[in-house]
Structure 1
Amino acid sequence: MHHISDEQRRIRLGRRHLLAPSVRTASPVSVTDALVALHATDAATVFLSACARMSEASVVAVERALYEDVSLVRQLSMRNTLFVVSQELAPYVDASNARAVAAKERRTFLKHLADDGNGLDERWLAGTERKILAALAAHGPLTGSELSAAVAGLRTKITVFPGKKYEGVQGVASRVIRILAAEGRIRRDRPRGSWTSSQFRWTTSEPLPFEEPAQAQAELARRWLRSYGPATEADLKWWTGWALGPVRKSLAAVGAEEVRLDGGAVGWILPKDLEPEPALEPWAALLPALDPSAMGWADRSFHLPAGHRKALFDRSGNIGPTVWWNGEIVGGWAQRADGEPVWRLLSDIGRDATAVVEAEASRLSQWVGQARITPRFRTPLERELTA
C-alpha cells in the first residue's frame, strides 16, 4: 500500500488550503472552493478565513461575493452547522446534506406546535411563511425584528416540552425564519453593523438546481478528498455528518484509493493523486476560530500536537484562533480590546519562524483595522490572552 507521511500531509495542507504566500489567491470564491466550505456559525470567521488566504485581504470583496454577486451562499448543512459554499457547489451541498437538515428542522418545529395544544399546525405555519415571503418581496431586506413587526404570526409564543422540568415559553420567529433559510427560500443579506455582526437582514432567494442525493454525495466527497486527502473514513464521516454507508458508497463512486498513513491508519485519496508534492516556502498563518484547516478532520494529530488541545479547544470541541507554522498548529492568538492582535506560541519554532509569525500578525492587524473580534466559542488561551 502506498504510504503518505504526515510531513506530506502538512505540505498538501499548506498548498491546497492556500496558506503559503506563493499560493494565495485574489478571489474569496476561489478560497471557499479550495476549502470546500467555510464555517459560518461565527460571522467573522468567514472573513478571517478568506482574507488569510487572499493575496490582498479585502472585506469588500468578501461582502460583494456574499451580498451582491451572491457567488457565495450560506447553508445549514454538514453536521447541522452553518457553512458558506460557492454558488456552484451549493446544489450538491443542498442535495447531500441541507435538504435533510431542513426537513428535520420542519418536523421538529411542527411537533412543538402540536405539543403546545393551541391549534397551531402545518396550515398556520404555511400561512405565516407566505406572509413572510410577501413582506420580504415588498419591503425587504428586513431584520428579524422588522419581519416580526410586519407579520403578526411571528410574534406568537408557544410552550415547548410541556410537562417536563425543562418546560419553557419561546417565541416562534427565529424558528420559522431558520426553517425558511434552511430550505433556501430566504437568505441572509447584509447585517446591521459591521462584517463581524450576526444580526442579519433577510431577503428572498432563488431556488437551487436539483441534484440527486447519491450523485451529490459523491461530488462532495470528491471535492473534500481533493482538499483534505489523504484522510480516513472516520474523517469524512465526521466532516459530512453522514452515516458510514453513504461515506463508503461515495468513496467507491469517486474511485478513491487506499493509502497508509503514519501510525498505520488507512486513509483514502483520489485516483492519480499519489505523487509527493514539493515543499513550500516557510509560511505562517493566523487562522480564526473554527477555520476549516483546523476543523477538517476528526483526527488532527498530523498537524495538532496533543498537548495543545486543552488550551485551544472549548469544552464542546470547538477550536479557537490558531497560529500555524509550516502546516502545524503551534499556538493561539486573540485580539485585545484596543485592537492589538496578541499571540502565544505553544511550540518552540525558533527566532526566524517567530519573525514570520510577527509579520503575519501585522498583516492581520492592518486589514482588520477598527473591527473588534470576539469568537462565539471562547477557549482557555483566547480568554487568557485578552484578559
Structure 2
Amino acid sequence: MDFLLERMTRQGLTRRGTDTVAQVAVAAAGLQAQDAAAARLGVRARTSSPDEAAVVEAIDAERSVARPWLMRATVHLVAASDARWLVALFGPMIERRFTGVRWRQLGIDQALVDKAIPLTREILAGRQLTRHQLAAELAERGIRPADDPQAATHLLLALSCRGVTCRARDSGRESTFALLEEWVPAAPAPADPMAELARRYFRAFGPATAADFTTWSGLPSGAAIRAVRDELTEVEFDGRRGWTLGAVEPVPALRLLPMFDNYLIGYRDRTGMLDPARYGQVYVGGIIKATVVRDGRVIGSWRLDRSGRSATIRITPFERFTRSDKQQLDREHADLERFLGRPVTLAVEDGRG
C-alpha cells in the first residue's frame, strides 16, 4: 500500500542521512523513550551517523535532547530546544488525566504538589537525583504521598507537568532527575504551540486522520487541525479521509524498528500495517514489540539479546522472507554492529505458523 510506504518515508526510515540526534527527534515529532535502549535504537533506524555512545552523549553531556513526559503522558526524546514549550503544552492535559482517581489513590493532591515545588527546587539545585533519592529527601521535609511503589514516579510526573523537573542522565538502569530550568536551556517557543505540534505530526506521520492525531498526542484534534488547515493537503487513503503536510518521494526499505517505535504508535487504525491475526504478537499488554517492517508493513518481530561484549538479533518472520528481504536484513545487521560497536549475530527463527 503506497500510503504505508509514504508514512515510513516521512518517519525518516527509508533514506537514512547523517542527521544529529536532535534533528532526528524534530523530524520524527519526538521518539517514544520510556525504554531508554529502545529510544536509542529508534534514532539508529532514522540516521546513519551517530552510534549508541553518541546518542548517550547527546542526552547526558551535550544535552541537545531531553526526555520529558509528553504525548499520551509517556516519555519522549525531543530536541532540547523544544522541551520547554512541549511541557507547557502537554502538562495541563496530563494533570487533568491523573488528578482524579489515580492521584487521589496515591495521596497526591494540589496542596501536596504546591508544597513540593519549592522544596524540590531547593533539593535539586545543581544536582541530579533518582526518583527514590528525591522522594526520600522530600519525605524528610514532610512530603509523604501514599505508601505505594508508584507514588514517587507519579509525584515526579506532577512536578514535570508544572515544568519543575525533567529526566537528566541515566544512572545504570535508573534515570536521574534535574530542574528543567537548569538541565534544558531556554529557547524561543513557537507563536502557536498547538499549530506547531500539528505541523510536525502531519509532516512526520501523514497521511493521517484527525483520530490518528488524537491517538498519538492524547489531545483533541479539532483546534490543532484548524490552526494549520490551510497548510495541509487533504488526501483519500485506505477508504479514509486525512491530511499530509509537504511532499515526499516514497522509497522502498526494510528496517528493524525497536520496541515502542513511533511508526507502530502514531495511528488509531493499524490494520493496513499489520495483519490482524498477528496483532497479539506485536501489541502485548502495554508492550509494543520490536518489529521488522518492509515498505510500511510489519513482516516479523525481533529482539536484541546483549551478552558481554557481543549481541544477537533474533528475528521471528511472519511470512517467508524474499531474497531482497534477506539482503536488506544483512545491511540492517551490519548497521546494528556499527551502532552498538560490538559483534552481532543474526538468527532467523521459524515463526510463520
- Pairwise TM-score range, normalised by the shorter structure: 0.7 to 0.9
Distance 2:55 2:92 in 1: 26
Match of 2:69 in 1: 76
Using the size of structure 2 for normalisation, the TM-score is 0.82
**Is 1:175 aligned to 2:154, yes or no?**
yes
Q: Kindly report which structure 2 residues correspond to 1:206-225, keeping only aligned pairs within 5 A, or say none.
A: 206=181, 215-225=192-202
Q: Does 1:256 align with 2:243?
A: no
* 8 Å CA contact 1:324, 1:331 repeated in 2: yes
Aligned residue number for residue 13 of structure 1: 7
Return closer, same or farther for 1:257/1:95 CA change in 2, 3 Å cut-off: farther
Bigger shift: residues 240-249 or 120-129? 120-129
Percent of aligned pairs with the same residue?
A: 24
Q: What is the TM-score of this pair, normalised by structure 1?
A: 0.76
Q: Does 1:363 align with 2:335?
A: yes
Q: What corresponds to 2:117 in structure 1?
A: 129
Per-residue CA deviations over 1:303-339 (Å, capped at 9, x if unaligned) read 32333322211134x4210012233221110124643
Contact 1:92 1:220 in 2 (8 A): no
Q: 1:146 aligns with which of 107, 121, 133?
A: 133
Which residue of 2 is the match for residue 293 of structure 1? 263
Give the SS at the match of 1:329.
strand
| Offset at residue 221 of structure 1 (A) | 0.7
Aligned residues: 341
Q: For residues 171 and 32 of structure 1, what CA distance do their matches in structure 2 show?
A: 28
Q: Where does 1:84-99 land on structure 2 (aligned, <5 Å)?
A: 84-99=77-92
- Give the SS at the match of 1:340: strand
Kindly indicate whether the alpha-carbon contact (under 8 Å) linking 2:68 and 2:167 is maintained by their aligned counterparts in 1. no
Kindly indicate whether the alpha-carbon contact (under 8 Å) linking 1:312 and 1:332 is maintained by their aligned counterparts in 2.
yes
Question: In structure 2, do the counterparts of structure 1 residues 123 and 24 end up closer, same or farther at CA, with 3 Å as the change threshold?
Answer: same
Q: Which amino acid aligns with 1:266?
A: R
Name the structure 1 match of 2:273.
303
Counterpart of 2:175, as a letter, is F
2:274/2:298 contact within 8 Å kept: yes
The one-letter amino acid paired with 1:173 is A
Q: 1:87 to 1:103 in 2, by over 3 A?
A: farther
Measured on the aligned residues, the alpha-carbon RMSD in Å equals: 3.4
Q: For residues 1-387 of structure 1, what are the structure 2 equivalents within 5 Å?
A: 6-7=1-2, 9-20=3-14, 22-102=15-95, 105=98, 111-112=104-105, 122=110, 125-137=113-125, 140-151=127-138, 152-153=140-141, 156-158=144-146, 172-193=151-172, 197=173, 199-206=174-181, 215-252=192-229, 254-262=230-238, 264-270=239-245, 273=246, 277-280=248-251, 282-316=252-286, 318-336=287-305, 338=307, 339-368=311-340
Q: Distance in 1 between matches of 2:250 and 2:145?
A: 59
Amino acid at match of 1:80: A
**Which amino acid is the alignment partner of residue 11 of structure 1?**
L
Letter in 2 for 1:217: M
Change (3 A) 1:103 1:334: same
Q: From the CA coordinates, give the structure whose radius of gyration is larger.
A: 1
Deviation per residue, 1:241-288 (Å, 9 max, x gap): 123533543453x442321113x2112123xx4x6x5453x5321111
